[in-house]
Amino acid sequence: MPPSPPPPDDPGIKLREHTYDGIQEYDQRLPNWWLYTLYGAILFWIVYWFAHMISGLAVTDGAAVDAAMNRIAAAKMASSIDVSNDARFWEMARNPVFVDAGRQTFNSLCIACHLASLRGKSENPAAVGPDLTDTAWLHGGTPKEVFATVSKGVLTKGMPAWEPVLGQKKTAEVVAYVLSHHQPGEPITVEVPK
């Protein structure tokens, strides 16, 4: 085995006592910039992990793609609203972008009569509007009939015609929001208006 090199002349440089394959290693502290970079990377990882995995503050790529696809689907549906097609209304009722837009319109215009819970008279007898969450409908419960009721109104019951005010797209969004509380094919009971 070759002899180990003589110790360096600089007293600040320390060598480890063992020799491995003829190599004697330095025993020095890592530079501060290197340590700060390591500690910063560890701290960044903790914050990043908390933001993405625990708190949900950051939007994941999958959620961003889903939101973009929902916006595209909502724009496609909005460009071709077919008020005579029940299946189209059910598609809109399952699209979160469409339902959220309908919820916002409903909360700004309809909660005075139907309440925020859509339960109307079932929740508060002093409310004017009927319950929109059950399967009993006064003027028909198919999506086309609900759209016709919202768009044309029922003036004898105090329900104004909303399509001239909102337009067809916003009216369809409100109907989609109401239908999002129902399932396709559920039994419909038509009540006789009192």
In the predicted structure, residue 123 carries a pLDDT above the cut 70: yes
Q: Please report the pLDDT score of residue 122 as a whole number.
A: 84
Per DSSP, helices labelled H in 80-109 are: 86-93, 96-109
Angle among Cα 16, 17, 21 to the nearest 5 degrees reads 90
d(CA 119, CA 174): 15
CA dihedral 53→58→62→65, nearest 10 degrees, is: 170
Among 5, 1, 21, residue whose Cα is nearest residue 13: 5
d(CA 119, CA 122): 5
- The sign one gets for the Cα dihedral 80, 81, 82, 88 is positive
For residue 11, name the pLDDT band (cuts at 50, 70, 90).
Answer: low
Q: Is 135 helix (H, G, I), strand (E, B) or coil?
A: coil
CATH class of 83-190: mainly alpha
In the predicted structure, residue 42 carries a pLDDT above the cut 90: yes
In the predicted structure, residue 49 carries a pLDDT above the cut 60: yes
In the predicted structure, residue 37 carries a pLDDT above the cut 90: yes
Q: Is 89 exposed, middle or buried (0-12, 13-18, 19+ CB in 10 A)?
A: buried
Reported as a single tens digit per residue, the pLDDT across 13-29 is 777 788 888 888 887 88
In the predicted structure, residue 61 carries a pLDDT above the cut 70: yes
In the predicted structure, residue 47 carries a pLDDT above the cut 60: yes
d(CA 175, CA 186): 16
For the chain, the domains span: 15-55, 83-190
Reported as a single tens digit per residue, the pLDDT across 168-194 is 888 888 988 999 988 888 877 777 655
